[in-house]
Amino acid sequence: MKERLVVIGNGMAGVRTVEEILERDPDRYEITIIGNEEYPNYNRIMLSNVLQKKMTVDEIITNPLDWYEENQIFLINNNPAVGVDTELKTVTTESGESVPYDKLIMATGSHPFILPIPGADKEGVVAFRTIDDTAEMLAASVKYKKAVVIGGGLLGLEAAKGLQEQGMDVTVVHLAKWLMETQLDEKAGKLLQAELEDQGLKFLMEYSTQEILGDQRVTGMRFSNETEIETDLIVMSIGIRPAVELAREIGLAVNRGIVVDDYMATSLPDIYGVGECVEHNGICYGLVAPLFEQGKILADVLTGQAEVKAYQGSKTFTSLKVSGADLYSAGNILNTEGMDSIEAFDSASRKYKKIFLKDGKIQGIVLYGDTDDGSRYYNMMKKGQTIEDLQSIAVLQAIGEGAGMGQDVIEWDDDETVCGCNGVEKGKILQSIREKGLTSVSEVGKVTKAGTSCGKCKPQVQTLLEYELGDAVTTATGICPCTDLNRDQVVTQIYAKHLTSTQAVFDALEWRNAEGCSKCRPAVNFYLNVAWPEEHEDERDSRVANERMHANIQKDGTFSVVPRMRGGQTSPQQLMKLAQVAERYNVPLVKVTGSQRIGLYGVKKEDLPKIWEELDMIAAQAYGKVFRSVKTCVGQSFCRFGTQKTMELGVRIEENFEYIDTPHKFKVGVSGCPRSCVESAVKDFGIIGVENGFQIMIGGNGGTELVEAQHLITAETEDEVVDLCGAMLQYYRETGIYGERTAPWVERMGFENVKTVLLDADKRKELWEGLNKAIAAKGRNDAWGPITKDVDLREKMYTIEKPELVGVGE
């Protein structure tokens, strides 16, 4: 008969422990999990993404109800445990249900701390801890305008940024002198504040709240200095307290948290503790990685493993999930008396690094603006590695040089941490890839949790996949088995030998297939277009079928026709033409596309030339690797939240760069306010109107692998926006691999490198010189504008023997 295991708490620590137990011995226990909330287990770290509307609630559910059923786990949800009889070994729930146990895990988590001040119980005062809290905040953002977040820590800043992105005027009230004072030193905290102020957040530093004003609902706050502020919503984010009430009642040893030993055992037999509710050697942990480390040790204990490693505490780190504010903090940065330190500060680019040392070993880490070395420093700290063989200070090195060279994740030891958020080591990732046949970053995340929190380790996970699986992992190279040369080698030879046609490339570079193939011909044609825009004649036969047809091939062999509507704007005349053509040719579907245009779907191949002729419109390029579209909201012209004119700017950008081909599709979003109704933060080039100008975001991707764009700069004028967009477009064209989206391009090139290039006025000027040549060479009636009256040419354009590419829409 199976032993009965009961877990009080359906949060991340308790459920992770159960997952570890199931991995070791799935048949050992009959498991019951008792939860307080109505939801199945979810990733609490991702609540800030839900608040910022980057993810839905469904997307942060890590263990859906099906998982409990599949693993024969009895879930008692929305019915918290209220009593434990340690003699009879039973747990009683709020509804009166009695659950027997042989082994009990206390994983009760923590409570958000609410200031004990007058008015704290008023409507409109919330914590930021649960899905329900997040839903209440989102509802308030629709109805009200002003919000105050009490607490300038990690979670408070994520809450503030999320509410701002929903259009609220947000003020952060913080008691300390600088933000995140337990994770950052003063200099880094002040840099963070300056960046967030540039993004529109307001701060009241060293303010103490005395009273919350209002009758039934909050209307304002009064501080100890007798000043007041108006607000419609107050979010308290000033820390957490271990949930130990039940533990105290049943007689467990409790200090700040439930006291546990090195094997997670409490003071009573057969009762164990894990997570935020426990205290080990005087420390309570509020971050996920330590909780998962505890869960692994407890799983070893409860499944009788031969060797159980004693828990010795955890080295923790912090990373903020707010665009434009890249920071990393780890180890001891507060009690630094008697320590040495290495500090580097670049005020021009707001980059700051400080490493605290004792006996030549890293004790604490603070990084702001450039966090690429965070994982390397963290692993050195965990392993007690000395810095004696490393250069401590380097100034004005070439990009890519420095102490970090040769520290690729492939060279790490298996026990080094790749995913600090979830405590996943390199060896665990490789073992899972080998044993479970994983082939993608998302699959690795589902099995190991690596990359499922802040996501900054995903590039390293991808590298491990490529290392382990080789060709089994698909990567965008743009070159094929016709040659052993990579993109850079081919482009170098195009310039060096002045090759101006695909056939010349194939001949000069000794292609195995003398005529190339369907994969390399479009890539080489693109590289030639970029290298010699005034000399190379675009080779239509080298383009993929969709581009030759000026239409997307659909799964049933029909096509979609999508005319250009700059900035999503149209006219009555254009609408009438579309309606007439759709009716005349029996078009089965007329639909507004995801890029704010009207598409005709299900068009027969033989009708394409006649439809384009009758429409007398240019194609929207919804099928090509090209500057695709500019999606806009109505902006200041019509919207009460709009801070900038968006439609006019969107049309201007589209008119400037339409017809320019790129390594992959290139999309732009122009939002008139931080609500970002056009999802600017997942566009290749995103623009968000704020009071002092336009926030520029680059490298976003809203596709199957969601990538949030990174904050480049806040531009003051429309001219600056257009200048930056053109420069990025050309830099992407000159350095991108054919078939590579801007998200992996930014990752490969390095965001800081891209930023340095784009913010350099002289380099922008050079890029624009190349771009202007491409614009001049393209003209307005070339391969991208199918409005030619030449019937023979038009018929040739639409003659293909078989489709080569299945369209996937916009």
Binding positions for siroheme? 677
List phi, psi (to 5°) of 523. Answer: -65, -50
Place of tokens 């996501």: 455
**Which amino acid, 655?**
E
Q: Which among 621, 638, 732 has a CA at the least distance from the CA of 685?
A: 732
Q: Which among 385, 380, 335 has a CA at the least distance from the CA of 182?
A: 335
CB 767 within 8 A of CB 726: yes
Strands 271-273 and 103-106: parallel
Q: What is the arrangement of strands in the sheet containing 598-603, beginning at the earlier edge strand? A: 552-553, 559-561, 598-603, 589-592
Neighbouring C-beta atoms of residue 597, cutoff 10 Å? 21
Strands 559-561 and 693-698: unpaired
Neighbouring C-beta atoms of residue 626, cutoff 10 Å? 23
Dihedral sign for Cα atoms in the order 479, 666, 711, 168: negative
* Known binding positions: 633, 639, 673, 677
Q: How far is CA 216 from CA 35, 40, 210, 228, 355, in A?
A: 31, 33, 18, 18, 49
The 8-class DSSP code of residue 646 comes to -
List phi, psi (to 5°) of 662. Answer: -135, 170
CA distance 254 to 260: 9
The 8-class DSSP code of residue 596 comes to S
Q: Which among 669, 672, 674 has a CA at the least distance from the CA of 164?
A: 674
The 8-class DSSP code of residue 770 comes to H
CA distance 787 to 774: 20
* Known binding positions for [4Fe-4S] cluster: 633, 639, 673, 677
Tokens of 264: 């997670």
CA distance 772 to 778: 10
Strands 29-34 and 361-368: unpaired
Neighbouring C-beta atoms of residue 311, cutoff 10 Å? 21
Place of tokens 């026990």: 415
CB 672 within 8 A of CB 634: yes
CA distance 734 to 527: 8
Q: How far is CA 106 from CA 10, 11, 246, 497, in A?
A: 10, 11, 9, 71
Q: How far is CA 693 from CA 126, 646, 719, in A?
A: 32, 12, 11
Q: Which residues contact 60 (CB under 8 A, 6 or more apart)?
A: 42, 43, 46, 47, 49, 50
Place of tokens 């046949």: 437
In terms of residues, how long is the chain?
A: 810
Q: Which residues contact 426 (CB under 8 A, 6 or more apart)?
A: 409, 412, 413, 414, 415, 416, 417, 418, 464
Tokens of 171: 């003020």
Neighbouring C-beta atoms of residue 89, cutoff 10 Å? 18
Tokens of 385: 């590695």
Ramachandran region, residue 778 (left: φ > 0; alpha: ψ -120 to 50; beta: rest): alpha
List phi, psi (to 5°) of 289. Answer: -55, -45
Dihedral sign for Cα atoms in the order 693, 698, 701, 706: negative
CA distance 547 to 807: 10
Dihedral sign for Cα atoms in the order 36, 38, 39, 43: negative
